Every structure is written in C-alpha cells, then in structure tokens.
Amino acid sequence: MKIWIQLFIFCAALARASTIVLQSGVSPGESNNISGANYVIPTPEPVWAVGPGEAEWISFENTGWCTATNGACITLPNTTSVADPTAVFTQTFTDDIGTVLTGFVTVWADDSAAVYLDGSLISAPATLLQGPVHCSPASGITCTGDGTIVDFTTTPGTHTLTFDVYQTGGATFGLLYDGSVSDNWRCVPEPASWILLGIGLIAVGSRNIRRTG
C-alpha cells in the first residue's frame, strides 16, 4: 500500500496543468483576413449580447453602432453564399502539455457564423436565412441570448479556431466569443522519471525486506 501511495505522490509531483483563455478582442493570436489586426467595436449594437468577462465584440473596422446617427456606422453588403463569408476571423493557441486538449467556445455573431478547428467544421453550418428577430438566423449562431457553445477536443500542439462570419440582414456586423482550452494530463513519466521511480520503489522494497527479515 505504501508503494502505491508513494507512486501517487510521485505522479502528483510530475503533473502539470494549464488553461488557455480564448476571448475575442483580448487573447493573443487573433486576427482576420481583411485588416489583419482585429478591431474592438467601441459601441456594440444595443440588442447584441453583453460579452462575458473581458471578451469584446470585434470586426475588421467599426461596423458597430453609431450613437450620432442612431444606426450602423458602416452597412455591409449581404452574403449570398456560405462559401463566401463577409469576414474570416482566426484565433491561434498553443498547448504542448498532456495527451488530450479539451476546449469550448461560446460564440455570438451578427448575423451568423460557422466555427472550424484546423479547417474542420465543429459547429452547425452557418444559416443565411434571417429569422423573425433582429440579427437572428433561422437556426445556429446569432447575436443575442446565451450564445452557441461549441465543444472540441484535440491533441497537444498549435491549433487555429476559424470563425466564418456572415452579414445577412444588413446594418451592424461583428463577432464575439469566449472560451478556454485545458490539458488533460495523465501520469506517464519520461524515461528519466521512470528511472527515478524505479530507484525509489527499490529503496522502499529493500526497507520493507529488512523490516520483515
């Protein structure tokens, strides 16, 4: 029993864990395909959801709400095809610890969006058909409410989340997301660590033999 307790303590000492926060307008490694650096919208559309934590509504320029005119600062043309998003936003992150990375991201968009991880779709496809509520597509990601949660798992390394965002109802345009990535670490020591573990177990075994001899 003592050996297993010491093994548990040994693994606990080796264990490392980390969480990477992913928030639009805040996290390093974010960009877009039009202006490069993301633009934090100073005055979001009044009906848009309030960002959780420090997350901010972003765009490639000020496509938010202008109080002086009580309307959209810039009106963008509507998207006509899911193959041609209005703008593409990316969030790159790196985590080399552990064996499996587990993550999630909650997404809002005006008017709709689709989320990809390393080029593979991980959300529902974007819906270009406008619903009865402002900036609300018939289904999928929208700009109001609790947002759409997208879960994912991947292996350690460098990865990219991609957000294809679509303008379908005119007026304002933007993206908001909030999430994190955590490593799931298990006790699989490197060769040098196994040697140290073996020496420790031998020492414990020898001590037990002397006590019972």
Per-residue pLDDT tens over the stretch 149-198 = 999 999 999 999 999 999 988 899 999 999 999 997 655 554 554 454 45
d(CA 90, CA 35): 12
Considering only the C-alpha atoms of the chain, give the largest distance between any 2 of them, rounded to a whole number of Å. Answer: 91
Whether 119 shows a pLDDT value over 90: the answer reads yes
d(CA 118, CA 154): 10
pLDDT value, residue 16: 56
Domains of the chain are: 17-186 (2.60.120.260)
Q: Three-state DSSP class for 161? A: strand
Nearest CA to 25 out of 52, 47, 46 is that of: 52
Q: Who has greater pLDDT, 156 or 208?
A: 156
Average of per-residue pLDDT values in the chain = 84
Question: What's the average model confidence in pLDDT over 125-147?
Answer: 85
Beta pairing, strands 174-184 & 100-110: antiparallel
116: left (phi over 0), alpha (psi -120 to 50) or beta: beta
30-67 pLDDT, tens per residue? 999 999 999 999 999 999 999 999 999 999 999 999 99
Whether 14 shows a pLDDT value over 70: the answer reads no
